[in-house]
Chains A and B, each alone.
Chain A
Amino acid sequence: SQQGEEDPQALSIQEGENATMNCSYKTSINNLQWYRQNSGRGLVHLILIRSNEREKHSGRLRVTLDTSKKSSSLLITASRAADTASYFCATDGIQGAQKLVFGQGTRLTINP
């Protein structure tokens, strides 16, 4: 079952611009995470935000969480060509708290 859905499915911007990706989910959560995947590689954890948090920063990354709307956003500021990758949100569920469920991802392309 797919818990999270990312929007847009694909995003292409110029280097230096900001990139915003959104994730919506269906059930209550303990936390929401964002991962990055370079083409043909494994996923790398970027950031985790807990259900009682509204915003979190890590370097050029800013994540927000709105539990009332069951949605999250990932903002990458001052994008670089090396940010080109797919980005996935992952959620747990309070009832099934032993596993993460991933969305289908946003494919981000940064044009030099």
Chain B
Amino acid sequence: DGGITQSPKYLFRKEGQNVTLSCEQNLNHDAMYWYRQDPGQGLRLIYYSQIVNDFQKGDIAEGYSVSREKKESFPLTVTSAQKNPTAFYLCASARLAGDTGELFFGEGSRLTVL
């Protein structure tokens, strides 16, 4: 079955540690996105990528980094510079670069900083 796989589902981190969230898709989609969701809130865009080896900052990129070395993979690193990293992180993909049609979402990764 085609889809987006995020891992881990739950992650605990101590302050000062970097952590990497995995996002893999087998839909052959060009575009991939990372969103952050805080309790009772909507989604805020962190980074997005339209093609391999290229990505753009979203609205809240500070304290985060990404890479897009393969079409199917778009990992997100939450660095120690992110002041308030506890949140629910959602990865999504879209079929075509520049397409603002349907997004396909993974099941999310919940990060808690202890």
A residues neighboring B (CB under 8 Å): 1-2, 4, 30-31, 33, 35, 40-45, 48, 88, 90, 92, 97-105, 107
Contacts and interface: CB of A to CB of B under 8 A. Distances in A.
8 contacts: A33-B102, A42-B90, A43-B92, A43-B105, A48-B101, A98-B97, A99-B45, A102-B43
A42 B42 contact: no
A24 to B, nearest CB: 13
Contacts, number: 64
Given A40-B108, A41-B108, A44-B105, A98 B98 contact: yes
Nearest to B3: A42
Majority SS of interface residues in chain A?
loop
Q: 6 tightest A-B contacts by CB?
A: A42-B105, A92-B100, A104-B42, A102-B43, A102-B42, A45-B102
A92 to B, nearest CB: 4
Contact of A43 (B31, B45, B97, B103): B103
A1 B45 CA distance: 9
A105 B35 CA distance: 15
A101 B103 CA distance: 12
Interface residues of B, number: 30
Nearest to A10: B40
Contacts of B40: 104, 107
B96 to A, nearest CB: 10
Interface of B: 4, 31, 33, 35, 40-45, 48, 50, 56, 58-59, 88, 90, 92, 97-98, 100-108, 110
A90 B100 CA distance: 10
A62 B48 CA distance: 30
Given A30-B100, A42-B90, A88-B42, A98 B107 contact: no
Contacts of B102: 33, 45, 48
Nearest to A88: B42
